[in-house]
Chain A
Amino acid sequence: MRLFLHQLRAEQLIFWRSREAAVFVFVFPILLFLLLSAIYSGEDDGEPVVNVLLAGLLGYGVANTTFGGLAILLVLRRENGILKRLRSTPLPPLTYLAAAVASIVAVFALQTGVLVALAVLVFDADAPAHASALLLVLLLGAASFAALGFAAASLIRTGEGVSPAVNVVVLPMAFLSGGFGPARDLPAILAGVAEALPLKHFVVLVKAAALAGEPPWTHPAAVLVVALWGGAGALVAARRFRWQPRDEG
């Protein structure tokens, strides 16, 4: 536990000290929320559009931060030899990985707090209807997307490739899943793609908890899809995650 807290503190220091990562991973979803809320106004399907945008951007946030942020961090550290070096120290590997996840989840939690506060205080959004249900949904999403972040890090081969690869996945998925506003009138094939991906279901759960005050278990199918993706991610990571740079045998 002492080692976990030590490493968590270290991870937070490293994260916030690296401006590029902090801006891209932490600020970007908040920036997009401000932008979209300034562009769109009025109602969507009887709901103030800012409420819908808040739910969507929490979805983009979980994908961008816990999935993308974690994948980028892990690949860069693997390729520049930091993971390998850590393996030569007494820090247990699982403690290290747990601290890395906890650190990125802490960043996501802070981002969520800022998003909700901005939405409520600046854009007159409704405060989340069911706070504990929302918390539960956010934790489920963070866990599932963090597992997918590990899987992505295991599959992406180079440090140069990781940022583009992450965004090629995250941005289209966010559009299709209602991350940047309503995505109802999609062509059938795209709607099908969205249906198969976890983010849409996560946004459904966020909306249900934040807007309708419904706990996640009232939408078991959505919970199942998010959890299955997370489980699949964990499985891929367990089989393929490496500590040493790719060019070493």
Chain B
Amino acid sequence: MSAVAVEGLRKSYGALEALRGVDFTIAPGEVFGLLGPNGAGKTTTVEILEGYRRRDGGRVEVLGFDPERAGRAFRERIGVVLQSSQLWPYLTVRETLRIFAGYYARPRDLGEVIDLVGLGDKRDARVKTLSGGQKRRLDLAVALVGDPDLLFLDEPTTGFDPAARRAAWDVLRGLRSLGKTILLTTHYLDEAHNLADRVGVLVRGRIVRLGRPAELVAASATVEIRYRADGRDVAVRTDDPTRTLHELTGRALAEGTQLEELEVRRATLEDVYLQLVGEEDGEPAP
């Protein structure tokens, strides 16, 4: 049975159709990345799965519960990191976690959770003295303290500098080894590529691609060939790079010219993504 199953999920805010039939599943123990530009519907999707928002249509099952009607038993088993939320600034890390631990029937050991998110040397520091990255790791610790089966992380590293992002990734990789199912939203491609087993690309309320990061790249096997000719940059996209390259170089040799700064590059997840977002944004509004 899947940890999360979403079928034909729809949600509108007034005239705005935020979700227009979203389908995906997440297997137990899987790290699933929901990737998309701002306003694509990532947070709406996640908040419906968490039970914060009601859906207009479609079927949603999370750990066997319908989140709209689920109660304490459901909340015992999920951990939530919201996109933006604060904690009590004057309490220490340990005090904050002790309060949250008290809500759960079987909480994790506090020291273990603190070490897991790398706040060991900050356990007695007041929350207001933590850096942005450390606060975000405390958010994660709060979500973990109930020992959830399923973890929702809504843009866990937005606003981080590169070093803090790398540190957060290390922590998140550590969670994978605990066997937690994780639903991660992000608009950073490298984050999805580095952390997720599978990625769903959400654009304008619809999943436009679904698969392993490497599959997504392979599926659009486009290769880009770049060179300079007559002082101008030329970029050629091709699905048959051997032939295209042969034709280009053959012509250049025949004409006695050079393909200056010749470069052959496989598409990255970023290329795939930008192409998908571009295609979707180009279509007329519904």
Q: Are B85 and A80 in contact (CB under 8 A)?
A: yes
What residues on A are CB-neighbors of B82 within 8 Å?
Answer: 81, 84-85, 88
Q: Are B84 and A81 in contact (CB under 8 A)?
A: yes
With known contacts A14-B88, A80-B86, A81-B82, A89–B100 Cβ distance under 8 A:
yes
What residues on B are CB-neighbors of A13 within 8 Å?
Answer: 91, 95, 99
Question: A26 vs B146: C-alpha distance in the bound complex, in angstroms?
Answer: 34
What residues on A are CB-neighbors of B78 within 8 Å?
Answer: 88
Closest chain-A Cβ to B205's Cβ sits at a distance in Å of: 15
* Residue in contact with A81 in the complex, picked from B76, B86, B146, CB distance below 8 Å: B86
With known contacts A90-B75, A90-B104, A90-B146, A14–B86 Cβ distance under 8 A:
no
Closest chain-A Cβ to B195's Cβ sits at a distance in Å of: 22
The verdict on A91 contacting chain B, using a C-beta distance below 8 Å, is yes
What residues on B are CB-neighbors of A91 within 8 Å?
Answer: 103
Q: Are A81 and B104 in contact (CB under 8 A)?
A: no
What residues on A are CB-neighbors of B50 within 8 Å?
Answer: 88
Name the prevailing secondary structure of the B interface residues. loop
What residues on A are CB-neighbors of B87 within 8 Å?
Answer: 82
What residues on B are CB-neighbors of A90 within 8 Å?
Answer: 72, 75-76, 103-105, 146
Question: A85 vs B91: C-alpha distance in the bound complex, in angstroms?
Answer: 17
**On chain A, which size bracket covers the interface?**
20 to 34
The verdict on A87 contacting chain B, using a C-beta distance below 8 Å, is yes
What residues on B are CB-neighbors of A80 within 8 Å?
Answer: 85-86
What residues on A are CB-neighbors of B13 within 8 Å?
Answer: 249
Q: Tell me which residues from 131 to 146 in chain B have a Cβ below 8 Å from any Cβ of chain A.
A: 142, 146
The verdict on A172 contacting chain B, using a C-beta distance below 8 Å, is no
Which residues of chain A have a CB within 8 Å of any CB of chain B? 3, 6-7, 10, 13-14, 17-19, 80-82, 84-85, 87-92, 244, 249
Which residues of chain B have a CB within 8 Å of any CB of chain A? 13, 50-52, 72, 75-76, 78-80, 82, 84-91, 95, 99-100, 102-105, 142, 146
What are 27 residue pairs bridging A and B, where the CB atoms are less than 8 Å apart in the complex? A10-B99, A13-B91, A13-B95, A14-B88, A14-B90, A14-B91, A17-B91, A18-B88, A19-B90, A80-B86, A81-B82, A81-B84, A81-B86, A82-B85, A82-B86, A84-B82, A84-B85, A85-B80, A87-B52, A88-B51, A88-B52, A88-B75, A88-B78, A89-B100, A90-B76, A90-B103, A90-B146
